Structure 1
């Protein structure tokens, strides 16, 4: 039967890759009427992205994916090796951070299949496969979108907001007139994905030989990936031949004994748009930025985009916040995405120096830096990775006496409601709402009745986090079993407003809870009583 599209939706999402599918799940969880248009009728079965970090896994948790819903392989270390200096740098990626492994590899078709399957649980989300966006017309109230269906018929849908998750050649980006700044590397690389390789490795290694730089890593399903930099004069056709593949893989295995899933020659890109949005049109993932693969942050950056954007869209379409909060998507996300691209370019300079002389200088300097404990820790402890922390945006500026950082992420720990009750990750206990958290205290006790009503009307909820052993009861009272939150993040007697994307919006002592809530509501553009608006600090650009 032919699928019929709705005449209007709140959000029309273009693209159902891993970033688009995560966005669709988030919008579904927030109860937003969403239509997803995807040109391809099927999942692309060849592996592409391969690395996720703890932040990405936490965002997938926010999107409803529990641990084990798709297969991952934890990576203990990332090793940089030089033919001259040996192992000249090593990043420790073992152990958990915020409830997830610091670094994992995965099989992209498996993740996409899982994300798509979850969409059937959301009645507000409709997916049109084999449908292509062919026209966009904007007006003051929304966007009229022309969609060519699989049978060739064209339907028009009106949407309040249009989100382009349609990849590096984004139709949405071209229509919006957003400039894709940056460069494409001149070097070609051959990627080889294989299964059933004998003696699999358990870490990521970068063979930084200027003659043939080669990143190499394992993946679930007894898979391994190699990326080989092509030398001058080597062509795509020549290097994809079986005999060329056999020669390249000879140091690791006999190619006839393994199963090669994919070979492809491609070039790396480092590009970012001049703005992540224009009017009612927003870009996420590769449509907004392309990151070289050396830092393993390409897909992760796209997941950060949708975690930041989707709750803001939900709060606006549901009348819980002013549309001005949408301006903060670009303000918050673009600087961080740019810093991640710069990190990937730096990592690329370590992996692929242009010649032996540069390799000697770069790798020798890195080797010498490992002799200095503070310099070694920068790489070993991943301090070179930019924090997902905002300098400007949708939060109240300033610092408090807690360890919380406004514009930064709330840590995640393990919590339970009572002795013997199931243990959960704290994000699952917090849920999908804007949350007022009391650390070792109940925020309801001092919050004025009027402000409580305004808070609930703005989509807020109230929650108490108890320190280990502290008594308490109620469905919104949780005991912190790990000290990650109480007192790890904030002392007893503290309150904080936390956004649905786990960013700290405001915080302060319990006795100032009315001021904290009223100022948070003002930042959102929500209705605030005249008595409290006087002290509000507005951080939304006009």
Structure 2
């Protein structure tokens, strides 16, 4: 039976940042999306306040970073302080491995507005407000999503059905999609409540973030773009939630931070509870979960928004590959395999951070003494300063190839138990497979001092250090490269770029020569026992090998990603 004419390729349920990011990424890669949102407009109150470098890389891929950047402040420093103001730990990462400062503050409603506006670039995209999803049906070769179209007062005007190849639930923690899938939402929901207050015309004026681990009442104070100051205060168990509606009570919370709380211009005030939950699976047939629908985490490390964007980044290229006919259905199973573990790890770290924040007097005293001791040891201090406690996404299973054995679908973190081969010298023992590749500033014949992604593009890349990436490819390999639009790149020292341009001009396939003026790429390869890498569309390393092994690595990657052979259908 032939597939009927469908309304769209992907039905996205929920117009939050994850759904909007996903729809934009689908659009820039040439496919259609319809976004259904129950509300009549985007949420206008701030929620997330932290944007990281990985998310910025995704926004750049979506062509939206320049639009979003004015609503951010780079290099957000986080300091953990105790009840007397003593700094216990400082989180101040200064490296820019992925091309941007590691942490930014941002105003979420303004950023979300730009994400929504970005959909207007794509002729086949729609953002439908006032559409409350009430039904899902997986029909084997496509999905049908039923929604009630609502008027401004919430009355039902009609029931509509939208058909697509796939559906993705991005509608938050109370997700209809997750409930329809019938999957467990595993984890904890601590009873602790917090009140968040956003104030215009920042009355404090200090930038960055303070996490106040005060046993009397833990708090957070955050300097945000456009003169906004955010405070968050923990409510005690004996304080009813409706107490926050009493301005005198709120003034009493703020009085420790400003001379005259009654003069503050409050622009947002809400009460929330932290959650630490993750769905048992992110896929059921042609239906997927992303963002808060898939996992909920406390706000301590500012990773809720960013983790959702990582979901969108991972899922978007895989849906695109299958929609293109470039990969089989098995590729989509790797979405849960890759994203669920990292989301669960982030939840664990956030829950631990919350426990540290809420310590009572005796526990707080022990915490303070321990933190003081740790700050005296450079290695331990850097654990906090450089954000090493934040687990970087590393995909040990999925669309990866083990560096030592070249086994498809799995990747060990290191080969420290023995050298990769007896004849391989390397200063390091960590495998880069499953990790995100760096993004230094580079030079080409056409561009000067640009970020690497601007050169490699947003799809597959096969890159070798110092030589011709086609040198060890067979005719069948070159056909596979053409089939999957894999960009062939040679990384060379800037001093060698002119030579390489001439030398590789006669290669059997086009080679982009990339100069490495800073030495960042040379240093990267120098300690990783590989001369060639294959980068996925999300810039994670799918395979790393000695250059002579490139053909074998490509064959393994083909199996790991269920990638098609032959010409496109």
- Using the size of structure 1 for normalisation, the TM-score is 0.91
* Corresponding position of 2:318: 312
The question of 1:450 aligning with 2:476 is answered yes
Deviation (angstroms), 1:498: 0.6
Task: Specify whether residues 104 and 235 from structure 1 end up closer, same or farther in structure 2 by C-alpha distance, changes over 3 A only.
Answer: same
Distance 2:343 2:249 in 1: 36
Q: Which among 185, 209, 212 is matched to residue 204 of structure 1?
A: 209
* Corresponding position of 1:3: none
Corresponding residue SS for 1:19: helix
* Corresponding position of 2:138: 138
Task: Specify whether residues 477 and 179 from structure 1 end up closer, same or farther in structure 2 by C-alpha distance, changes over 3 A only.
Answer: same
Deviation (angstroms), 1:226: 0.5
Distance 1:525 1:504 in 2: 17
Deviation (angstroms), 1:518: 2.4
Distance 1:67 1:486 in 2: 29
Distance 1:423 1:67 in 2: 17
Report which stretch shifted further, 277-286 or 254-263.
Answer: 254-263
Contact 2:530/2:544, CA 8 A, preserved across alignment? no
Deviation (angstroms), 1:67: 4.2
* Structure 1 residues 10-29: aligned runs within 5 Å: 10-29=9-28
* Corresponding position of 1:388: 393
Q: Which among 240, 263, 283 is matched to residue 235 of structure 1?
A: 240
Q: Which among 477, 486, 505 is matched to residue 460 of structure 1?
A: 486
Contact 1:440/1:493, CA 8 A, preserved across alignment? no
Report which stretch shifted further, 442-451 or 341-350.
Answer: 442-451
Deviation (angstroms), 1:159: 2.0
Q: Which among 535, 541, 555 is matched to residue 518 of structure 1?
A: 555
Distance 1:236 1:395 in 2: 48
Contact 1:50/1:106, CA 8 A, preserved across alignment? yes
Deviation (angstroms), 1:521: 2.0
The question of 1:412 aligning with 2:442 is answered no
Contact 2:403/2:545, CA 8 A, preserved across alignment? no
The question of 1:261 aligning with 2:288 is answered no
Deviation (angstroms), 1:257: 3.7
Deviation (angstroms), 1:375: 2.1
Contact 1:441/1:492, CA 8 A, preserved across alignment? no
Deviation (angstroms), 1:493: 8.8
Q: Which among 347, 364, 369 is matched to residue 364 of structure 1?
A: 369
Corresponding residue SS for 1:149: strand
Long gaps (5+) in structure 2: 152-156, 405-419, 506-510
Contact 1:518/1:528, CA 8 A, preserved across alignment? no
Task: Specify whether residues 27 and 262 from structure 1 end up closer, same or farther in structure 2 by C-alpha distance, changes over 3 A only.
Answer: same
Contact 1:217/1:224, CA 8 A, preserved across alignment? yes
Task: Specify whether residues 350 and 54 from structure 1 end up closer, same or farther in structure 2 by C-alpha distance, changes over 3 A only.
Answer: same
Task: Specify whether residues 492 and 369 from structure 1 end up closer, same or farther in structure 2 by C-alpha distance, changes over 3 A only.
Answer: closer
Report which stretch shifted further, 8-17 or 471-480.
Answer: 471-480
Deviation (angstroms), 1:167: 0.5
The question of 1:509 aligning with 2:509 is answered no
Corresponding residue SS for 1:308: helix
Report which stretch shifted further, 131-140 or 268-277.
Answer: 131-140
1:438-491, Cα deviation, whole Å (9 max, x unpaired):
222232344223321222213423223332222244883222233222342468
Deviation (angstroms), 1:105: 0.7
Distance 1:263 1:24 in 2: 30
Contact 1:294/1:344, CA 8 A, preserved across alignment? yes
Deviation (angstroms), 1:95: 5.1
* Corresponding position of 1:163: 168
* Corresponding position of 1:30: 29
Q: Which among 169, 175, 188 is matched to residue 183 of structure 1?
A: 188
Contact 2:25/2:62, CA 8 A, preserved across alignment? yes
Distance 1:159 1:232 in 2: 47
* Corresponding position of 1:345: 351
Contact 2:465/2:531, CA 8 A, preserved across alignment? yes
Contact 1:52/1:106, CA 8 A, preserved across alignment? yes
* Structure 1 residues 36-435: aligned runs within 5 Å: 36-67=35-66, 69-70=68-69, 71-83=71-83, 86-94=86-94, 96-150=96-150, 152-253=157-258, 254-353=260-359, 355-399=360-404, 405-418=432-445, 421-435=447-461
1:368-398, Cα deviation, whole Å (9 max, x unpaired):
2223332222212211111211221111123
Contact 2:202/2:229, CA 8 A, preserved across alignment? yes
Contact 1:98/1:413, CA 8 A, preserved across alignment? yes
1:215-245, Cα deviation, whole Å (9 max, x unpaired):
1111000111110011232222222322222
Contact 2:76/2:105, CA 8 A, preserved across alignment? no
Q: How many pairs are equivalent?
A: 522
* Corresponding position of 1:539: none
Corresponding residue SS for 1:40: coil
1:418-455, Cα deviation, whole Å (9 max, x unpaired):
38x34321112111211112222232344223321222
Corresponding residue SS for 1:206: strand
- Using the size of structure 2 for normalisation, the TM-score is 0.87
The question of 1:494 aligning with 2:527 is answered no
